[in-house]
Amino acid sequence: MSVRAKKHLGQHFLTDENIAKKIADSLTENGYDDVLEIGPGMGVLTKYLLQKKSKVTVMEIDRDSVAYLKETFPLEHISLDTSSEKFTILEGDFLKKQISEIFNKKQVAIIGNFPYNISSQIVFKAIENREFVPEFSGMFQKEVAMRIAEKEGSKVYGIISVLTQAFFDVEYLFTVPPSVFNPPPKVDSGVIRFIRKENYTLPVDEKLFFSVVKTAFNQRRKMLRSSLKSFKLSDSLKEEPIFAKRPEQLSVNQFIELTSKIANNGI
C-alpha cells in the first residue's frame, strides 16, 4: 500500500533515500530533545529522524498518510501527550496548532519536506514561535529557499529574508532536482537550515520593526522616505541619508537602526 499524491496538499513524495537521510542529518541536535516533522507523508524522512537521539513528533494533515504511518511504523505510540513517547503521530493542520501547547513550552526543532504552497507561512510561524524553536531545517521550492537565505543587495532579498535573519543564522545547504520526487514538481528544491541566534531579541520594538520591514518592501522600488510616509517622519528625519535608500539595500542591522530612528522620530 502507498499513498496517492494529492495536489491540493502539495504532496510530492521524496524517493531518494540518500537525500532523505541528508535532510534528517542537517539537524545539529544541540539544545533540544524534541523534533517536530511537518508533513511526513509516507515517512521517508521520519525513519532517519527516528534513528537520532531526539524524540520525534510528526504532524500530518492527510488522513491517508496518517493511516499509512500508523501501519508502517510499528514503534509508534499514538498520544496527544508528547512528554514520554519516542514517536508521536498527530493528525492536523500545522498552521492551526500551537507549538507551545503541543510541546508544553519545551524547545523543539522543526523539520520537513514542506508543502510548497504553505512554506512561507510555516517559516513565519517558526519566527513567531522563535522562543521555542532553536533550529529549523527543511526543503522548499529552491527560489523560496534562496530568498530566505539571501543578503542585502540581491533582487530577491525581501520581507522573509530580513525577518528570518533578524533571529536566525540561515544557511543554504543544497539543491534537489525534480526527478527524485513522485510526482516530480515543476521546479528545483532547496534545503536550508536556520539556527537561532544566541541573542534573538531585538534592541527595538519588535512590532514596529516588523511593520517597518513590511511597509518598506511593499514599495520596494521607492526610497524609504517615501515608502515609509505613513510613519509620519519628521522633516529632519527624512533628510537622513538612510531614508534615501531602497529597502533591498539595507542589512538586517540597518533595518534595526531605521526602526530605532523611527521610534525616536528625529528626537
User: Binding residues for ligand SAH, per CB under 6 A?
Assistant: 9-14, 38-41, 44-45, 59-62, 65, 93-95, 113, 115, 118
Give the integer Cα–Cα distance in Å for 126 and 164.
Answer: 9
DSSP 222: S
Measured from the Cβ of residue 219, the count of other Cβ atoms closer than 10 Å reads 15
Shortest CB 3 distance to ligand SAH, Å: 8
Nearer to ligand SAH, 12 or 147 (CB): 12
Q: How far is the CB of 219 from ligand SAH (least distance, A)?
A: 31
Closest to ligand SAH by CB, 96 vs 155, is: 96
Dihedral, CA of residue 240, residue 242, residue 246 and residue 248, to nearest 10? -170
In whole angstroms, the minimum distance from the beta carbon of 15 to ligand SAH comes to: 8
Least Å distance, CB 164 to ligand SAH, is 20
Pairwise CA distance, residues 108 & 133, whole Å: 5
**Smallest Cα–Cα separation from 223: which of 240, 247, 257?**
247
Q: Bridge-partner residues for 112, per DSSP?
A: 138
Distance between CA 91 and CA 74 in Å, rounded?
17
Pairing of strands 34-38, 108-113: parallel
Residue 204 Cβ, how far from ligand SAH at the closest point, in Å?
32
57 vs 164, beta carbon nearer ligand SAH: 57
- In this complex, which beta carbon is closest to ligand SAH, that of residue 59 or of residue 212? 59
HSE-up (13 A, CA, CB side) for residue 73:
29
In the bound state, the residue with its beta carbon closest to ligand SAH is: 39
Nearer of residues 5 and 156 to ligand SAH, judged by Cβ: 5
